[in-house]
Amino acid sequence: MKYAGWQVGITYQTKKREGLDKKYLRNLLREMKDNGMNFVSFMVVTHGLNDVLHDGYTWPVRNKRLRCYMDKKCTNAGPKTEFLTEIIEEAAGYGFHVNLTDNQFWWNPKKAKKGYPLIQAAEIQGKDNKAHQRYPHCADNSDTWRMACDAVEDLFGFYASQAVKSYAFEMIGRFQGCTCPDTMKMFKQSLKTAGLESKSENKDLFSLWEDMRRKEALEEFVIAIKKVNPSLEIWHHGYMELTDRGSYRFSPASYEKAGVDVALPCIHQVTDEDSLKKVLDSSKDFPLVLHVDTRDVSTLNYNIPLKNQEYILSMGRWIEKNNRKNLTGIAFFNEPATSAVNKKAVYKVVKNWRKKGLLK
Site residues, Zn ion (CB under 5 A): 138, 140, 178, 180, 183
User: By C-beta, is 138 or 279 nearer to Zn ion?
Assistant: 138
Q: Which is nearer to Zn ion, 54 or 215 (CB)?
A: 215
Quote the least distance from Cβ 258 to Zn ion, whole Å.
Answer: 20
The minimum distance between CB 105 and Zn ion, in angstroms, equals: 11
Distance of CA 48 to the CA centre of its chain: 16
Q: How many other C-beta atoms lie within 10 A of the C-beta of residue 140?
A: 22
Residues 6+ apart with CB under 8 A from 245: none
Nearest residue (CB) to Zn ion, 81 versus 142:
142
Asked if 121 contacts 138 with a C-beta cutoff of 8 angstroms, the reply is yes
**C-beta of 180: minimal distance to Zn ion in Å?**
3
Hey, what amino acid is at 339? S
| Cis ω for the linkage preceding 334 (within 30 of 0) | yes
Contact 358, 38 (CB under 8 A): no
Q: How far apart are the first and last CA of the chain?
A: 6
What is the nearest approach in angstroms of Zn ion to the Cβ of residue 138? 3
CA-closest candidate to residue 253, choices 243, 266, 245: 243
Least separation in angstroms between residue 130's CB and Zn ion is 16
Q: Give the chain's length.
A: 360
Please say which residue, 189 or 269, places its beta carbon nearer to Zn ion: 189
CA neighbor of 61 nearest in space, from 117, 114, 118, 6: 114
- Closer of 105 and 167 to Zn ion (Cβ): 105
List of residues 6+ apart from 193 with CB closer than 8 A: none
At its nearest, how many Å lie between Zn ion and the CB of residue 187? 9
The burial class, CB within 10 Å (0-12 / 13-18 / 19+), for 233 is middle
Nearer to Zn ion, 78 or 177 (CB): 177
Cβ proximity to Zn ion, 44 vs 178, nearer residue? 178
Min dist CB 120 to Zn ion, Å, is: 6
